Structure formats: structure tokens, C-alpha cells
Chains A and B, each alone.
Chain A
């Protein structure tokens, strides 16, 4: 596979370019705009990029329509969804692949690998992967397979010069769990929503804006 030069860009967000192969953990309250932030971070920089969603909180069709609402173009050759909700169904036309349960981390990993390979086979030069959210996987599975799943996911993304963006609501998991899960990521984007204002801050990555920066979600 060929790889574009330069980093991943985030138009309209106070984030500098991120190097290929980077995995980011996005943390913030579930109702505070974190979903919109993740969707915007997954907007393709150009048509040679692909985007892959792993979704456990909302189903595939909802994910794709929400993606379109923030400006995402749904090209089924380059954009696809691994739908881990219990109501998810396969939809080849929209490149949605149902697993049936967030408990089935083996099945999620296989569908992810299959879809990731197919996006490259369809001509994507690099792929943005988003997980919304990690919380159901963590809550419904024991910790060992969750670590295995995260290492497998982030390892593939790192090796393929992809971008990984995984969202989690810190209030949905124990502090110790969040801290140890964070080890799998290169950096964190923290989101806060206070007094009607939403802001983000990047932690752990160099060459990023320092401090909190307001965003519209």
C-alpha cells in the first residue's frame, strides 16, 4: 500500500496535524459533544482517505447519517461501519457489517480486520478509524480481552500509518480502568462542557496547541 506524506488534518478543530500511525483516546461526557467531536475528527482529508467506524452505542445507519450531518461523504468503497449494537444488521450497500454484540470482541476484531483490508483493497491510501464508544466493550467484557482487542486495533492502525480515535466517557468506567486503557494510546484529547461552553485540550502529543480551546459542536 502506498502512503500519503504529511499528517492527518482536522479542519475546523483546534488540533494540529497528527502523524500517521497515531492512536488517540478522546475523553469527555457522553452528552457533552464528544460524539460530534469524534465524527469531525474522522472527516476524510481527501477522497483518497478511508474512514472506518466501530460503533457500539449507535447503529450503523445512524452513525452514517450523523457522519453526513457533520459533512462526511459516504462513499461505500472507502467508508464502512462495524456495527456492534445488538440490533445491528448487515447492509452491504452501505458497507455496514453487524457483529451482534459488543461482548463478542473476537467477532468485532475479525470484522474490523476484514473491513480495514477491504478499504485498502478498494483504493484507500490510508484510513481513519473511530470507536464510539469504548465504554460498552469495557463494561460488558472482562479486562483481558479488552486489552487484547485494543492492542490489536491500535497495532493495526500504527502499522498501516492509519489514525485511530477512540471515545470513552470517563464517568462510565473506573478511574483505574481508564488509566490502564490509556496506555494503549499515544495521546489524549480531553473534552469538557461547562456553562454552555465546550472546549478541548490535547495531552501527550507534541506540537499541539496548549491549554483548552473552545469548539462548536
Chain B
């Protein structure tokens, strides 16, 4: 993995230059700075894949910086590349930020740093949520449904309004889960646009083979301390994965409510139907886009089109992964 954009943070110009040179020699772009404040601004642009920082900085520590990064761009990995030994690092004020650590006196430190940075980015080792085992293939599949011109907003607006009325819930939405955030294609009852993956309940739904129901968010340890859900007034949730004909899960059709509640079998059966309908709409648009058909994409498919079975023309994600997914590190703005 080459061509990453890495922020190199060190108050000592000479040490900073050495670290920068090591990373540039590895084929990466490096932006350098000397303070916590400058580095936090750099990461806030959303263009940084990884941060490599000395522990001791003129206006704080590398862990202070990591704390800011966890607030602004939580998935961005941080590596402490430092002369400080573990006993000199005060982690007590930042017990939950979790960083990689590489001592500068490690044998072949320059090469080790390059490998470490590439690994933490490729393996997404500092994300605060579970990852599906087929994450790379899943993101490649999502890219096939996430192209300009495949807009299904009006259709999904209708579907989510219908769902909200059918289930009597506060919010019904269709969301796709990309590399770093969930994006809401339609959201009846609220105007949510994005939610970071670590705060999104759909992050967990895409791990399921069927519906995920959380009758009381406060009673579920996966979500009980998620302050963002509280801000959004989410107390109950039901979501069905959106699964492509080839089996990749790209998002979910979901309901949320401001009070704990249960969902009957009949309701869950209907929720699955809503999810099936949403996925068929996405699949139809993908097929129309691929065959280059012009005209109104909401026109029903021609006779013989069967969206219930795998489309012969759906690209194999394994062979088309060069088309990367949106890679937006920006913060949530629901």
C-alpha cells in the first residue's frame, strides 16, 4: 500500500525531517507540522490517512492529539513514534484513545514505521466498532450502487414515509454504510444526513444475516453509553440489512423510536419486505446504469427482468475492487 497521506508531527525539526524522509521513501505523501494544534487542523480537513507523532510536543502530547482526532475523525489511526519509553507516557488522562506505539530505537525503525503505518491503514486497526470479515469486498460492492445518477431519493422518501406510518415510529430511514460513516439516502421523521460508523447502530446490523432488533438501547451494552444516540433520541431500533444479489451487505432499512418498544413478528416480516423493496430499487438502478439505458430510472423494468435472482451482469467485487468506495473521513452532520 503506497500513496497514503500521512501527517508527521514532531516539535524537533531535525527529527521531523528524518521521519518524513522515511515515509516519503516508502512512497507516501507527508504533511509535516510541529504542534498539537496544527496537527488537529490538518486531520480536520479529512485528507489524512494516518498520523505519526512524537509523544512530547510543544503544546501537549501525542495522546492529547489523539484525543482530538478521536473527536474529529475517529477512524484515523495514530502512531506514537517516539523516544519516550512506556513508563514516561502518561496515558491516565487518555485511557480510551488507543494508539500504536513504535520506539525510535527499534532495530530498522524507518522500515518498521513504514510497514506499521501501511498495516494500520489497510487493516483499519483503530476503528471503534466491529468490522465484517468481508469488509473490502463489501465496500467494493457498495461502490457499484453509489454512483452519480443512481439517485433514488424520491423513491426512498416515499418508502420511508410509508414505513414510518406503518410501524408508528419516530423515524424510518434507508442508510448505506461506507468506509467511515453511514449516509442516509432517505430519512422520514428527521433530516439526518450522516453518522460516524462508530456511532451508527447499522454498523452492527450489517454483521447480521437477518433483522437486528434493539428494544431498549440503554439495556444493550453495545449502545448503552453511545451519547450520539441519546442526542438523536434513539431508544429503540429495528434494522434489516440491504444485501446485494451476490450477498454483500451495503446498508440497512431501519426504524428508530424515542421510547423503548418491541416489534411483532408481523411487523418484522413487513420490515423485511421494505428492505427487499429498497434493495431492488438500488439493484434496478445499478443495472440500468450499467446497460447505459437512458430515460426515467423509475420506469419499471422490462418484462423478464428478475431482480430476485443474482444479476448476471453484476460485477464481481473481487475483480472490480479498483473502483474504491467513497472515503470520506469527515465528521457526522446529521
Chain A residues near B (Cβ < 8 Å): 90, 97, 101, 103-107, 109-111, 113-114, 117, 121, 141-145, 147-149, 151-152, 154-156, 158-159, 173-174, 176-177, 180-181, 183-184
Contact = CB atoms under 8 A, between A and B. Distances in A.
B119 A147 contact: no
Nearest to B66: A106
B96 interface: yes
Contacts of B112: 117
A203 B215 CA distance: 30
B198 interface: yes
A101 to B, nearest CB: 8
Contact of A145 (B98, B220, B222): B98
B142 interface: no
Nearest to A144: B128
Nearest to A204: B133
Interface string B53-91: 000000000010000000000100000100001110101
A-side binding surface: helix, strand, loop or mixed?
helix
Contact of B129 (A109, A114, A121, A144): A144
Interface string B115-126: 100011001111
Contacts of B132: 183
A100 to B, nearest CB: 8
Interface residues of B, number: 43
Contact of A143 (B94, B102, B222): B222
Given A110-B99, A152-B126, A183 B106 contact: no
A145 B132 CA distance: 18
Report which residue of A109, A144, A152 has the largest number of chain B beta carbons within 10 angstroms of its beta carbon: A144
A29 to B, nearest CB: 20
A90 B222 contact: no
Contacts of B204: 180
A110 B95 contact: no
A102 to B, nearest CB: 10
A27 B120 CA distance: 27
Contacts of B80: 110
A34 B112 CA distance: 35
Contact of B63 (A106, A142, A152): A106
A125 to B, nearest CB: 14
A145 B87 CA distance: 21
> Which 7 residue pairs spanning A and B have beta carbons closest together?
A144-B128, A155-B125, A107-B91, A145-B96, A148-B98, A183-B130, A113-B101
